[in-house]
Amino acid sequence: MSRLRLILGDQLNPLHSWFSTVDPDTVYVLMEVRSETDYVRHHAQKILAIFAGMRELGRQLKAAGHRVRYVAIDDPSNRQSVTDNLDALVSHYAATHVEYQAPDEWRLDAVLDAWGKAQLAHGVAVTQVDSEHFYTTRDEARALFKGRKQWLMEHFYRQMRVRHGVLMDEDSKPAGGQWNFDQDNRKAWPGTPPEPADWRHPHDHRALWSTIEAAGVAHFGAPQAEALAWPLHRGEALQHLAAFVQHALPHFGDFQDALTHRGWRLFHSLLSFALNTKMLNPREVVQAAQNAWRDGHAPLSAVEGFIRQILGWREYVRGVYWAHMPGYTHVNHFGHTHPLPGWFWHGDTRMACMKHAVGQSLSQAYAHHIQRLMVIGNFALLAGLDPQALHEWYLGVYIDAFEWVEAPNTLGMSQFADGGKLATKPYVSSAAYLHRMGDHCTGCPYDRKDRLGPRACPFNALYWDFHLRHDGLLRRNPRIGMVYRQIDRMDEAERQQIRVKAAELVRHLDQL
């Protein structure tokens, strides 16, 4: 009997129970295929880091005595599709069993499920096993929210805290007497404490990058192949986690929502790539943060704010994804259709906040949460950009972007394109919020205080126009009543001026 075990590019967990024994009849299969690189155009660093991480895991498994079949992108036998390669390998190894860890993406799940069923006719048993990564199962959020119209993250998060005993006192009350320290976590960053030095370890991957380019894989963004700095195996990921806890976690809470042109990730962890490729388990990250609080190294507000992202948001968006797929990636509540301006691909816009956030996304394959939500996403929603085009851009550009986590964040949280399944109101703002949370407006050629003049910050007219345009869909939302009270105080001439200014901005998106 021979058995194949497929390891996907986001399943780089060397601690999976699969690897606890060495079996000479089991062949571990990793493959670099165009069907996975080409479904959207990806950032160069994302392709490079995933391939380099897969190669590293393949090497480690071999070194531990496992049999490994690594199908490289330029391997002449590579049929460039997961299932075509599996067909060839089943035949080559005369395999009677194939196992794969549950994919996180609906598309691949469906492809492998269909392929597995078809194998039965050939006498090959195909089994899906747990990826042993998440706290929750795919269907848990759906069960928790059954019958509820609104899926409140806070409700989910509190259940998770209790069930997993995270930040809980002995009397089953939340540590510090409160569940949520969000109010303490909204400071702008005055420039101190300094952004910690980059704790990552760059590696030279120029040879691999040449191979990827020669294979013709479509890409954009800066490869930084000579100094690729994302963790490529569990050992590095653990070092990154330790460095984050040591140097940044104590300030994570205070400046979680801050924006600045003087840094690129402030006190954020940069752990999403290691988490989403499963080099790290969310439990160990949560535990490390919790220990930092118990040891007196980081305040509770910072630790709670950080844990909420992982135990709360990360598991919750996964539940939203599985509950609403297929179909979720096509939602478009507001019917927005404008194509992305060209500067999404080169970063050359005069809006200082957008230039920084988009430019950094292209150079680093990374932007922190508030850049993604309140800068790029905010602009896209106000300007009425096509949510599917935006979804593809986000899915391609970020090092950590995998559809199960990217789509609910982009289409749900950021674009409200699902009509409010996961956000209680659209996350939009005018220049006032951006100025309050950051330092981009100082020195920006646009005037943050002006709404209609030639130098007016585009966020202002677009903000009011968004609410005017979607009056029918938004006015009854109690969380935005204030906005409509202000609109009602405007006279019709003022409303018309806003509409005209916004239409002009949208006509010239490429020139902003």
Ligand X SMILES: Cc1cc2nc3c(=O)[nH]c(=O)nc-3n(C[C@H](O)[C@H](O)[C@H](O)COP(=O)(O)OP(=O)(O)OC[C@H]3O[C@@H](n4cnc5c(N)ncnc54)[C@H](O)[C@@H]3O)c2cc1C
Q: What residues line the site for ligand X (CB under 6 A)?
A: 265, 268-272, 275-276, 309-310, 313-314, 317, 368-369, 372-373, 377, 394, 398, 400-401, 405-406, 409-410, 413-414
CB of 277 to ligand X, least distance (A): 10
CB of 248 to ligand X, least distance (A): 8
Cβ proximity to ligand X: between 28 and 466 the closer is: 466
What is Dmax (Cα atoms) for the chain? 79
CB of 96 to ligand X, least distance (A): 37
Cβ proximity to ligand X: between 7 and 270 the closer is: 270
CB of 202 to ligand X, least distance (A): 18
Cβ proximity to ligand X: between 224 and 371 the closer is: 371
SS3 content of the chain, % helix, strand, coil (to 5): 50, 10, 40
Cβ proximity to ligand X: between 90 and 160 the closer is: 160
Cβ proximity to ligand X: between 402 and 464 the closer is: 402
Give the span between the Cα atoms of 353 and 434, in whole angstroms: 8
Which residues, listed in sequence order, are joined to residue 203 by a DSSP beta bridge? 228
**3-class DSSP state for residue 166?**
coil
For 345, other C-beta atoms within 10 Å of its C-beta total: 15
CB of 154 to ligand X, least distance (A): 14
Cβ proximity to ligand X: between 198 and 226 the closer is: 198
Cβ proximity to ligand X: between 72 and 365 the closer is: 365
Tokens matching residue 212: 């990827």
Q: Secondary structure of 79-104 in the HEC alphabet?
A: CCCHHHHHHHHHHHCCCCEEEEECCC
419-425: Cβ within 8 A, 24+ apart: 419/331, 419/333, 420/150, 420/333, 420/477, 421/150, 421/151, 421/320, 421/324, 422/151, 422/153, 422/316, 422/317, 422/320, 424/150, 424/152, 424/477, 424/479, 425/474, 425/477, 425/479, 425/480
Cβ proximity to ligand X: between 12 and 86 the closer is: 12
CB of 386 to ligand X, least distance (A): 15
Question: Which helix or strand (DSSP H or E) is residue 68 part of?
Answer: strand 67-71
Cis peptide before 299 (omega within 30 of 0): no
Question: Which helix or strand (DSSP H or E) is residue 27 part of?
Answer: strand 26-31
CB of 309 to ligand X, least distance (A): 3
CB of 82 to ligand X, least distance (A): 21
CB of 324 to ligand X, least distance (A): 15
Cβ proximity to ligand X: between 104 and 439 the closer is: 104
